[in-house]
Amino acid sequence: MNLFQQLRLGFRSLMLHKLRSALAVLGILIGVTAVIWLVAMGEGVSYQAQQQIKDLGATSIIVRSIKPAEESSRDVGSRFGISYGLLRDDYERILTNVPTVTRAVPMREISREVRHREHFIDGQVIGCTPDYFGMNRLKIARGRPISQVDMQGYSNVVVLAWEAAAKLFPIEDPLGRAVQLGTEFYVVVGIAAERTAAAAIGGSLDARQYDRDVYIPLSTFRARIGDRVFTVRAGATQLETVELTQITAVVEDMGEVDATADIIRALLQRYHKNVDYAVVVPKELLEQAETMRAMFNVLLLLIAGISLLVGGIGIMNIMLATVTERTREIGIRRALGATKGEIVQQFLWETVVLSGTGGLLGVLVGFLCGPTVNGIRQLVSTFLPEVWTALPPNIRNLEPRLAPWSIIAAFGISVGVGIIFGIYPARRAANMDPIEALRHE
Amino acid sequence: MNNLQPVSQRQSVASIVGVSKVYTLGGHQVKALNNVSVEFQQGDFVAIMGSSGSGKSTLLNVLGCLDRPTSGQYFLAGQDVAAMDDETLSRVRGRYLGFIFQSYNLIQQLSVVENIEVPLSYQRPPLPGGRERCLKLAELVGLSGRLGHRPTELSGGQQQRVAIARALVNNPHVILADEPTGNLDTATSHDIMNLLDALNRAGRTIVMVTHENDIAERARRIIRLRDGRIESVSETRPLLPQVGIG
C-alpha cells in the first residue's frame, strides 16, 4: 500500500466512529492551538517590551531617585521630613567628571492636579529642560517645546501631553490658554503628540505612560513648586525633599554604556550614604527582556506540552478501544497475509491521521489568533468600557505575533505525539494471536 | 486455466507428515492432533469431518499456517513451513493460501472490491494487475453490480461470494474453507457449493471443514477425524483426469 492508500484507509477506519475520532482530534487541536496562541502572545508582549526599551535609548543610562526605607533615610525624625534622591550636584558631577558622558538631562517629577476651569486631571508635572523632548522622542504636535528662553526666564509656560490636552480642553484650542497648577497659572505653548507607553525605569518593565504628563521648565519647577513636596501616605502627611527625580546620561557609543554606568554608580556611591537612587541601563533591560522572553517561552511550551500530552493520552485511549473493537479485522488481515509489522504500520498511520488532522486544524485555528484577540478587544471596549480602561496599556495594545517556528513545532509535535502514543496500541494489535483474533466476537 | 498436466505427473501441493499438536490446558496435556499425515494434490477437493474436539479446527489452523505443529512437517509449495518464523508464515499465508470463513469475515469499512483487494496489499513483491483482477473475480462470483457496496448492505450468500473472490485474488495454491455454509440457508448453501465445485473443476485445490454430510458429499474425498487421528478417508468422486491451475 502506498502512502495515500494508507492515509485513506486510516481515515476511513476512523470514520467508523465519527464522534469518538472527532473528540480525539479536538484534544490535539486544542494542544496545538494552545502552543501557537501562547507563543504568539508571548512574542507580542516581548516585542512590545523591546520596543519600549529601545525607545528609552540603547546609549543612555538612567539614574533615578528612589525613596529609601524609613529608618535609613538621610535625616530621620527631622521635622522637615525626609530628604533623599539625586542632587543638582550629582547632575553637575556626572556631566563634568565622567568623560564618556556627552549629554545629561535632569528632570523633576511630581503628581499634581492640573486644572482648566471645571476640568481637571491628576497629571504628572514634569520639570524638564529643552533636551528632554528629544531624549524621550516626544514629538510636538502643535506649538513648541520648552525652550532655553523659558528656562532662563523662569517662565510660567507648559507643554501638555496629548491626553492631558484633550481632557482639559474638550472644546477650545488649548494653545495660548492657561492651566492651573496649585496656585499658579501656566500658559499652554505646545501639545505633545500621542506616544505609546515606554518601559518604566527603576528596574521594572511596567509601562511608563506619557499621556497625562504636563511639562514645565525645570527652573520654573524649582522656583514655583520647589524641592519640598507634601505627600500623604497611610493617612500621615509627610514632607519630602527631592532635588531631581531623574538624570539621563547619554554616551556616544553603545559599547561605552556598561563602563559608564559603573563609573556613575561609583561616583554616586561616594556622595550618597544610602542607596537612594537606582542606575538603570536600558541596554541591560533589553538583555533582561531577552532572558525573560526565553523563560516565558519555556514556560509556555511547558504548558502547551502538557496539553499536547493530555491530547496524546486521549489518542492512546481511543486507539486502545479501537484495537479491541477491531480484533476481528486484525485476525482477518493476519490470516490474509499481513505481518505484525504491517499491522503496526496500519494502526500507526491511523493515529497519525488522527493527530495530524488535529495538528492541521490546530494550525488553522492558530492563525485566527490575531483576529480573535482583536474581536475580544472590540467586544470588551464596546460592552465593558470600564473594564477596558482599567486594563493595563500593555494588554490593551497587545498584538499577538505568530512565530513561524511555533507553528512548525506544534504541528511536528502533534504528529510525534500521535506516533508515540500510537505505538503501544498498534503493538498490542500486532501481537494478538490470529486464531484468537478470528474467533473474537 | 492453462498449464495442463497429466494425472500421472500430478503434484502434491500440500502435505503434512506425522504432525502432532499438543496443547497444555490447565496443567493437562491435550493432544489435538496425533501423528496425522495427509497429502493434498493439485485439484483435490477435500472435506474434513469430525465431531467437535476431533481436531479438525486444529488441522485447518495448521494447514492455514496460523498455528505451528508441535512436531512433524508441513510441506507447502515445496518448503517445510512448520519451522518458519512469524513473518515468513505471514508471507506464506498471503502468497499460497486463500481463506473462506463461516462468518465471511469481511472488513466492514471497506467496499466489496476493496475487500477483494485486501490480500493484494500484503504481497511482496506486489502481484501485477491488481484492480482488474479484483473486478474479474467480482464478476466471476456474480457481484460485479455491487462493487461499491459495504458488507452490511449484502446478504449472507453475497458476503460469502465476496469472501470467495477474496480467497482467489492472490492465486493461491490451496483454498481453506472453514464451514463455508455454516451460516447460510439450504438454497444459498447449495449456490455456494456450486461455486466451490466450479472452482475445483477449474483446477483449484480446496480443503473444507464441515460437519454437514450433504455438504461434505460435494467434495471428492472425505477425511474423518476422531480424537486427533484420521479415522477414515473415503473417495466420493475421482479426481478429474486433467487439471490445471489458473
Decide which of A204, A234, A250 is a domain's last residue: A250
Question: Is the Cβ pair A340, B118 closer than 8 Å?
Answer: no
Best residue in B90, B105, B117 to probe A by mutation, most A CBs within 10 Å? B90
Query: What mean pLDDT, rounded, does chain B reach?
Result: 89
Q: Say if residues B81 and B74 touch (Cβ distance below 8 Å).
A: yes
B134 confidence band (pLDDT: 50, 70, 90)? very high
Residue B4 confidence (pLDDT) above 50: no
Residue A60, domain member (yes or no): no
**Which residue spans within A144-183 are E strands per DSSP?**
157-160, 178-181
Nearest residue of A to residue B123 by CA position?
A337
Residues A219 and A163 grouped into a single domain: yes
Question: Is the Cβ pair A337, B101 closer than 8 Å?
Answer: no
ω before A174 within 30° of 0 (cis)?
Answer: no
Residues A381 and A240 grouped into a single domain: no
Residue B129, domain member (yes or no): yes
B8 confidence band (pLDDT: 50, 70, 90)? very low
Contacts of A334 in chain B (CB under 8 A): 66, 90, 93
d(CA B2, CA A160): 104
Measured N-to-C along each axis, helices B156-168 and B186-201 cross at an angle, to the nearest 10 degrees, of 20
Residues A236 and A137 grouped into a single domain: yes
CATH number of residue B206's parent domain: 3.40.50.300
Residue A278, domain member (yes or no): no
- Looking at residue B148, its pLDDT comes to 92
Best residue in A18, A336, A353, A436 to probe B by mutation, most B CBs within 10 Å? A336
Q: Say if residues A135 and A62 touch (Cβ distance below 8 Å).
A: no
Q: For A111-120, give one letter per residue: b (16+ CB within 10 A) or e.
A: ebebbbeeee
Decide which of A224, A250, A276 is a domain's last residue: A250
Residue B7, domain member (yes or no): no
Residue B118, domain member (yes or no): yes
Provide the H-helix boundaries in A326-439: 327-335, 340-367, 369-383, 385-390, 393-396, 404-430, 434-439
The domain total for chain A is: 2
Mean pLDDT of B161-181: 94
Residue B29, domain member (yes or no): no
Residues A297 and A186 grouped into a single domain: no
Residues A324 and A245 grouped into a single domain: no
d(CA B209, CA B195): 16
Number of H helices, E strands in chain A: 16, 15
Residue A357, domain member (yes or no): yes
What is the domain range of residue A195? Answer: 104-250
Residue B164, domain member (yes or no): yes
Nearest residue of B to residue A2 by CA position?
B121
Residue B1 confidence (pLDDT) above 50: no
Q: Say if residues B100 and B160 touch (Cβ distance below 8 Å).
A: yes
- Put simply, whether A435 touches B (Cβ < 8 Å) is yes
Residue bearing cell 493484494: B120
Residues A127 and A43 grouped into a single domain: no
* Percentage of residues in chain B having pLDDT higher than 90: 71
Task: Report the 10 Å Cβ neighbour count for A142.
Answer: 16
Residues A208 and A112 grouped into a single domain: yes
Residues A344 and A236 grouped into a single domain: no
- Put simply, whether A13 touches B (Cβ < 8 Å) is yes
- Looking at residue B179, its pLDDT comes to 93
Query: Phi-psi category of A152—alpha, beta or left, where left has phi over 0 and alpha has psi -120 to 50?
Result: alpha
pLDDT by residue, tens only, chain A of 441 residues:
678 888 888 888 888 889 999 999 999 999 899 888 888 888 888 888 777 777 767 788 889 888 877 654 444 445 567 888 899 999 999 999 899 998 899 999 988 889 998 999 988 899 999 988 888 778 899 999 999 999 999 999 999 998 899 999 999 899 999 999 888 899 999 999 887 655 444 444 445 677 888 999 999 999 988 888 877 666 667 788 889 999 999 888 878 888 899 999 999 999 888 888 888 887 777 777 778 878 887 888 788 788 888 888 989 999 999 999 999 999 999 999 999 999 999 999 999 999 999 999 999 999 999 899 889 888 888 888 888 888 777 777 788 888 898 899 888 988 898 899 999 999 999 999 999 999 887
Q: For A36-65, give one letter per residue: b (16+ CB within 10 A) or e.
A: bbbbbbbbbbbbbbbebbbbbbebbbbbbb
Residue B75, domain member (yes or no): no
Nearest residue of A to residue B175 by CA position?
A336
Residue A401, domain member (yes or no): yes
What is the domain range of residue B184? Answer: 41-68+83-238
Query: Phi-psi category of A3—alpha, beta or left, where left has phi over 0 and alpha has psi -120 to 50?
Result: alpha
Residues A327 and A212 grouped into a single domain: no
d(CA B227, CA B206): 23
ipTM: 0.91
Measured N-to-C along each axis, helices A369-383 and A18-56 cross at an angle, to the nearest 10 degrees, of 80
Residue A73, domain member (yes or no): no
Residue B6 confidence (pLDDT) above 70: no
Minimal C-alpha gap between A438 and chain B (Å): 8
N-term to C-term CA, chain B = 4
Residue B193, domain member (yes or no): yes
Nearest residue of B to residue A6 by CA position?
B121
Nearest residue of A to residue B90 by CA position?
A337
The domain total for chain B is: 1
Question: Is the Cβ pair A339, B61 closer than 8 Å?
Answer: no
Residue A304, domain member (yes or no): yes
Residue A86, domain member (yes or no): no
The three-class DSSP label of residue A401 is coil
Q: Say if residues A214 and A160 touch (Cβ distance below 8 Å).
A: yes
Measured N-to-C along each axis, helices B86-96 and A327-335 cross at an angle, to the nearest 10 degrees, of 70
Residue A72, domain member (yes or no): no
Decide which of A250, A278, A298 is a domain's last residue: A250
Minimal C-alpha gap between A337 and chain B (Å): 4
